[in-house]
């Protein structure tokens, strides 16, 4: 989840705009009901990741989201009772009643799973392409200490992961390895030590007397404007052009012009800001 510095239009945009762009993608995923449009959004998101130079990171988010997606499809297929097209009859499951796997339940589960995949991919894109320091610095004017706590927490994650790996390696070097519980305790104690060290560093950097920072004026770049416009367009399209789609009791989703317009519009809105390549190196 760590930030990757790249020369890309998204990296060149101010952090608050980059975050808004990723948030708009999440909003669209939650708002859209049509699997075709969602699929188009997912592909556009992968394209955005590649255009931002963090395609590998966005694609790797699938390692996390796909198993969860499969679980969602499986669970929905087993618990949903609303579909009409029965594919498999699993018989009587005691107190759960008759278990039937329906096409509609699988399709609805797949759509929900796709929403999850898009949300996790959008978060991966934000993590890799939106500078957390800059974002939190802009939030400090609202709540200085909360923003700083969040900054330090993001810094501590890779540090504690390294510590845990180091302690794990040390335990492998013991002729008589210790139990997992003891190792977990050691890792926790080490994390507390780390926190104390970080707290001491904060003190000597003057955090204890920190004042609310003054606003730093920064002119809006072409990338700030492009991604802000893209975020607004994504939100507007999701709200203004909802493609009609229903899963229950039977699947009904006409592939009309509205659906194609929405899918095409979203892909364009997501990818268009990457066309401008001037001034992308920071």
Partner 1 sequence: MNALELAGVTYTYPGSAAPALRDVTLEIAQGEFVVLAGGSAAGKSTLLGVASGLVPHFHGGRFDGRAEICGMGLREHGPAALAVEVGTLFQDPETQVVMGTVRAELAFPLENRGHGGVAVARGVEEVALALGIESLLERSTVHLSGGELQRVALGAALAGRPRLLVLDEPTSQLDPVAGDELLGLLARLNEEWGTTIVLAEHRLERCLGAADRVIALARGEVVCDAAPSGFLEWAHGAAPALETPGATLIAGLGLAPAPAGVKQARSTLRAAGLLPDPPQAQAEPEPASRWRRERGRPANLRLRRVWHERSGGPAILAGVSLSVAAGERVVLLGRNGAGKSTLLRHAAGLLEPTRGQVQRSGRVALLLQNPGDYLIHDRVGDELDATELQRAGLGALADRHPRDCSGGERQRLALAIVTAGEEPPAVLCLDEPTRGMDRAAKATLAQELIAHSQRGVAVVVATHDPEFAAAFATRAVLLADGRVLADSSPADLLSGGWYFATETARILGGHRGILTPAQALAQLGAVEASPGARR
Residues that bind partner 1 (CB under 8 A): 2-5, 131-134, 137, 140, 151-152, 154-155, 158-159, 166-167, 169-176, 178, 182-183, 185-186, 189-190, 194, 197-218, 282
**3-state SS, residue 101:** strand
Q: Is the separation of the CB atoms in 229 and 271 below 8 Å?
A: no
The secondary structure of 224-266 as a DSSP string is HHHHHHHHHHHHHHHHH-PPP-B-SSS-B----HHHHHHHHHH
Closest approach of Cβ 21 to partner 1, in Å? 20
Q: How far is the CB of 176 from partner 1 (least distance, A)?
A: 7
Closest distance of CB 178 from partner 1, Å = 5
Provide the token pair at 143.
Answer: 């709540």
Q: Which is nearer to partner 1, 144 or 260 (CB)?
A: 144
Place of tokens 């700030």: 224
Minimum distance from residue 251 beta carbon to partner 1 (Å): 43
Count the Cβ atoms, other than its own, within 10 Å of residue 280. 20
Among residues 151 and 250, whose Cβ is nearest to partner 1? 151
Bridge partners of residue 99, in order along the sequence: 91
Nearer to partner 1, 155 or 258 (CB): 155
Q: Is 141 helix (H, G, I), strand (E, B) or coil?
A: coil
Q: How many residues does the chain have?
A: 282
Sign of the torsion angle spanned by Cα atoms 192, 194, 198, 201:
positive
Give dist(CA 229, CA 150) in Å, integer: 28
Least CB distance to partner 1 at residue 31 (A)? 31
Q: Least distance in Å: CB of 69 to partner 1?
A: 26
Kindly state the smallest distance separating residue 275's Cβ from partner 1, in Å.
24
**176 CB-near residues (< 8 Å, 6+ apart):** none
Count Cβ neighbours within 10 Å for each residue of 15-41 and write b for 16 or more, e otherwise.
bbbbbbbbbbbbbbbeebbbbbbbebb
C-alpha–C-alpha distance, residues 209 and 13, integer Å:
31
């Amino acid at each position: 989840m760590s930030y990757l510095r790249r020369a890309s239009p998204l990296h060149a945009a101010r952090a608050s705009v980059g975050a808004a762009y990723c948030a708009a993608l999440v909003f669209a995923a939650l708002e859209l009901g049509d699997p075709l449009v969602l699929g188009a959004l997912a592909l556009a998101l992968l394209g955005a990741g590649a255009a931002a130079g963090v395609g590998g990171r966005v694609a790797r988010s699938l390692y996390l989201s796909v198993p969860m997606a499969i679980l969602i499809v499986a669970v929905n297929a087993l618990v949903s009772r609303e579909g009409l097209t029965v594919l498999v009859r699993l018989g009587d499951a005691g107190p759960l009643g008759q278990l039937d796997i329906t096409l509609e339940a699988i399709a609805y589960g797949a759509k929900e799973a796709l929403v999850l995949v898009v949300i996790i991919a959008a978060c991966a894109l934000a993590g890799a392409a939106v500078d957390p320091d800059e974002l939190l610095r802009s939030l400090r004017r609202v709540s200085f200490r909360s923003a700083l706590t969040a900054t330090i927490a993001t810094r501590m994650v890779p540090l504690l992961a390294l510590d845990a790996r180091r302690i794990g390696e040390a335990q492998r070097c013991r002729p008589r390895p210790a139990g997992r519980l003891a190792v977990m305790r050691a890792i926790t104690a080490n994390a507390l030590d780390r926190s104390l060290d970080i707290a001491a560093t904060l003190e000597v950097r003057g955090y204890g007397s920190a004042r609310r920072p003054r606003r730093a004026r920064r002119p809006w770049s072409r990338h700030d404007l492009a991604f802000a416009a893209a975020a607004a367009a994504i939100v507007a399209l999701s709200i203004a052009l909802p493609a009609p789609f229903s899963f229950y009791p039977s699947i009904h989703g006409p592939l009309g012009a509205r659906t194609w317009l929405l899918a095409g519009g979203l892909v364009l809105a997501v990818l268009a800001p990457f066309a401008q390549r001037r001034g992308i190196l920071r």
